[in-house]
Amino acid sequence: MPDKQVADKYDVIVIGGGPAGYVAAIRCAQLGMKTACIDKWINKDGKPALGGTCLNVGCIPSKALLEDSEQFEHISKHSIEHGITVKNVKMNVAAMIERKDKIVTELTAGIAQLFTANKITWLQGKGTLLNDKKVSVEPLDGKKVSVYQAENVIIATGSSPIELACAPLTDDRIVDNEGALNWESVPKRLGIVGAGVIGLELGSVWRRLGAEVIILEAMDDFLATADTQVAKQAKRELDKQGLDIRLGSRITQTKLNDNDLLVEYTNKKGEQQLTVDRLIVSVGRKPNTDGIAVDNVNLTMDERNRIDVNDNCETNIPGIYAIGDVVRGPMLAHKGSEEGVAVAERIAGQKPHIDYNNCPWVIYTHPEIAWVGQTEKQLKEAGINYRSGVFSFAANGRAKAMNQASGFVKILADEQNDRVLGVHIVGPMASELIGQAVIAMESENTSEDIARTIFAHPSLSESIHEAALAVTNRAIHSVNRKK
Ligand code: FAD
Ligand code: NAI
């Protein structure tokens, strides 16, 4: 039982130091509140680290390896297309992992420095919500539990990988994202369960480094949440690269042999078997809510065991907020961070607002996939009439110069008032281009506003301009469809 004597009092205590929690803590401190952030993360070196999943085993390390592997593939396979012959290209996976770890260490240390600069107390340990806005902290070193009093508590405990009973994790042969970001050698044959975001990104990393990659996906549709045309184009590109994505394939069993690993799965044709060297399980994530509050704190959960919150991230208990992966909405770092800022400002008496419809999604495959707003399917289901403008990178000079001219930009605009309702991109630097669409949608722009904007030439952004022109059949560098 925690000692009920209060060790210190804070205006705000944040439980969880990931991109939702640490951003909330920094914004609270900026607004003059006495703030503490509790976090229990222990990094690869056995040391406490801020940054949560995103900085330690998620967004950042995966992008570091995506970059390394893409450079390797580009130099070894595609430099010739630029008139450059490079011989004896060699990879050093251990050096890639070391570079990735260095980036992680620098960034997580950077958060710690920001905490110091903002006078935020970092309490290292497991936080538990008690009654009356008290929080207990069980230190990582097993020392005595302390209790702190807060005026407001923000829960930002994040999420963890969903495990499959038929594929229990092992040291390094059946792994989740964390394990797959630490292999120092390339598996010959790699199986992946789940063709979602992690499966596609980490599958791309290891394929580019030389693994034969087979992805088993339970659903019949590929990337069901993306625009159908984008998903189709992306699938075509990934197939061409050699990612073997088997849709409608549900894993049933795994068996570890001495030298390999047998995976059994079912598809339309019945029971199938696959032999691989290693397996990544990436079938989604679950909210970290177990034991977050003591029993007599009646914190309400929703049907998916996430903390139930309203549009302002308020829980059913006054003064207790929850943000990030532990609540409804997409499990994305930037979504959690924006909620962190908004909650801090609400506590400070401001009236912040988040438009969740304008939250971008990016999948860092090659080509990249990015979107914001509604898909055509969603608009049809909602009975909203819209016009669509599509422009292919094949007619974009910059994309041609980069030798990355596959994919397109699609803009969907309301048929009546021309407001941009969705932008979907598959192609080079889609992750960067989508920011322009987010600004346009956040500013409630019409497709005409974009069509009348000057874009630099030659640039990938011109494809956004042309797609906006295409909404009203006046794209210059493509033949407009008769509508
Ligand atoms: P987390 O980052 O999970 O942080 C929660 C923190 O709370 C952790 O440090 C945890 O240790 C701590 N904690 C939990 N319980 C307690 C407790 N009781 N007491 C104290 N501390 C506690 N998102 C993107 O937007 N872009 C990407 O490119 C991207 N790539 C990803 C790649 C991978 C491989 C993975 C796995 C995820 C990726 N994500 C990406 C998702 C992103 O990482 C999450 O959406 C984001 O980290 C959620 O932030 P959070 O602060 O809510 O939770
Ligand atoms: P996901 O939800 O994106 O994909 C999981 C996939 O596994 C789904 O397609 C699902 O149909 C499939 N699946 C589930 N059970 C299965 C089974 N038994 N057999 C075969 N397939 C099965 O989840 P993922 O990839 O684990 O990522 C978790 C979350 O992390 C993402 O939803 C996203 O929010 C976040 N993330 C974001 C990234 C980004 O923004 N670029 C990158 C990586 C992760």
Model confidence pLDDT, tens digit, residues 236-283: 999 999 999 999 999 999 999 999 999 999 999 999 999 999 999 999
Q: Is residue 205 in contact with ligand 2, taking CB distance under 6 Å?
A: no
Assess contact for 100 and 61: CB atoms under 8 A.
yes
**75 and 21 housed in the same domain:** yes
Mean pLDDT of 22-51: 97
Largest CA distance in the chain: 75
User: Which ligand has the minimum distance to the alpha carbon of residue 60?
Assistant: 1
In this prediction, residue 2 carries a pLDDT of: 45
**27 and 144 housed in the same domain:** yes
**Residue 213, token pair as written in the block:** 């990659």
Q: Is residue 432 part of a domain?
A: yes
**196 and 324 housed in the same domain:** no
Distance 257 CA to ligand 2 centre (A): 27
- pLDDT range class, residue 175, cuts 50, 70, 90: very high
Exactly one of 82, 457, 465, 477 is catalytic; name it: 457
Query: Quick check: bond before 352 cis, omega within 30?
Result: no
Indicate the range of 2-11, 316-325, 360-369 predicted with least confidence.
Answer: 2-11
Please identify, among 239, 255, 283, the residue that sits at the C-terminal boundary of a domain. Answer: 283
Assess contact for 149 and 5: CB atoms under 8 A.
no
The DSSP code sequence of 117-131 is HTT-EEEEEEEEE-S
Q: Is residue 330 in contact with ligand 2, taking CB distance under 6 Å?
A: yes
Assess contact for 47 and 104: CB atoms under 8 A.
no
Closest residue CA from atom 3 of ligand 1: 158
Nearest-CA neighbor of 62 among 105, 94, 101? Answer: 101
Residue with tokens 């297309």: 81
Q: Is residue 140 part of a domain?
A: yes
- pLDDT range class, residue 482, cuts 50, 70, 90: low
Whole-angstrom distance, CA of residue 409 vs CA of residue 104: 33
Active site residue 457: yes
Q: What angle do CA 39, 63, 36 make, to 5 degrees?
A: 15
In this prediction, residue 385 carries a pLDDT of: 98
Whole-angstrom distance, CA of residue 86 vs CA of residue 75: 7
Distance 24 CA to ligand 2 centre (A): 26
User: Which ligand has the minimum distance to the alpha carbon of residue 122?
Assistant: 1
**Residue 228, token pair as written in the block:** 């159908």
Q: Is residue 193 part of a domain?
A: yes
pLDDT digits (tens, 9 = 90+) for 182-208: 999 999 999 999 999 999 999 999 999
In this prediction, residue 3 carries a pLDDT of: 47
**127 and 23 housed in the same domain:** yes
Closest residue CA from atom 4 of ligand 2: 196
This prediction has a pTM of: 0.97
- pLDDT range class, residue 295, cuts 50, 70, 90: confident
**37 and 186 housed in the same domain:** no
Distance 230 CA to ligand 1 centre (A): 27
Q: Which atom of ligand 2 is nearest to the CA of 199?
A: 25
Supply the range of the domain harboring residue 374.
358-471
**Residue 468, amino acid:** A
Q: Is residue 166 part of a domain?
A: no
Q: Is residue 481 part of a domain?
A: no
Tell which one of 40, 47, 54, 122 to mutate to probe ligand 1, the residue whose CB is within 8 A of the most ligand atoms: 54
Q: Is residue 157 in contact with ligand 2, taking CB distance under 6 Å?
A: no
**317 and 466 housed in the same domain:** no
**How many Cβ atoms are within 10 Å of 328's Cβ, its own excluded?**
15
Q: Is residue 455 part of a domain?
A: yes
**17 and 129 housed in the same domain:** yes
Q: Is residue 285 in contact with ligand 2, taking CB distance under 6 Å?
A: yes
**Residue 367, token pair as written in the block:** 């080509």
Assess contact for 246 and 206: CB atoms under 8 A.
no
**452 and 310 housed in the same domain:** no
**222 and 371 housed in the same domain:** no
Closest residue CA from atom 12 of ligand 2: 194
3-state helix, strand, coil in the chain (%, to 5): 35, 25, 40
Q: Is residue 396 part of a domain?
A: yes
Closest residue CA from atom 43 of ligand 2: 198
Please identify, among 283, 304, 332, the residue that sits at the C-terminal boundary of a domain. Answer: 283
Report CA Rg, the chain: 24
Query: Tell me, what CATH number does 416's domain have?
Result: 3.30.390.30
**Number of domains, the chain:** 3
Q: Is residue 147 in contact with ligand 2, taking CB distance under 6 Å?
A: no
Sequence-distant (≥ 6) Cβ neighbours of residue 236 within 8 angstroms: none
Handedness of CA 71, 73, 75, 81 (dihedral sign): negative
Please identify, among 283, 308, 336, the residue that sits at the C-terminal boundary of a domain. Answer: 283
Average pLDDT, the chain: 97
Assess contact for 388 and 227: CB atoms under 8 A.
no
Whole-angstrom distance, CA of residue 342 vs CA of residue 360: 17
Mean pLDDT of 208-227: 97
Whole-angstrom distance, CA of residue 335 vs CA of residue 359: 7
Closest residue CA from atom 38 of ligand 2: 197
**21 and 129 housed in the same domain:** yes
User: Which ligand has the minimum distance to the alpha carbon of residue 293?
Assistant: 1
**337 and 438 housed in the same domain:** no
Measuring CA to CA, how many Å separate 55 from each of 49, 111, 327? Answer: 9, 10, 19
The DSSP code sequence of 429-451 is THHHHHHHHHHHHHTT-BHHHHH
Q: Is residue 94 part of a domain?
A: yes
Q: Which atom of ligand 2 is nearest to the CA of 361?
A: 40
Closest residue CA from atom 40 of ligand 2: 362
**Residue 79, token pair as written in the block:** 């430099």
- pLDDT range class, residue 481, cuts 50, 70, 90: confident
Query: Tell me, what CATH number does 272's domain have?
Result: 3.50.50.60
| First-to-final CA distance of the chain | 70
**156 and 298 housed in the same domain:** yes
More confident of the two residues 73 and 4:
73
HSE-CB for 298 with a 13 A CA cutoff? 1
Assess contact for 169 and 175: CB atoms under 8 A.
yes
**Residue 73, amino acid:** E
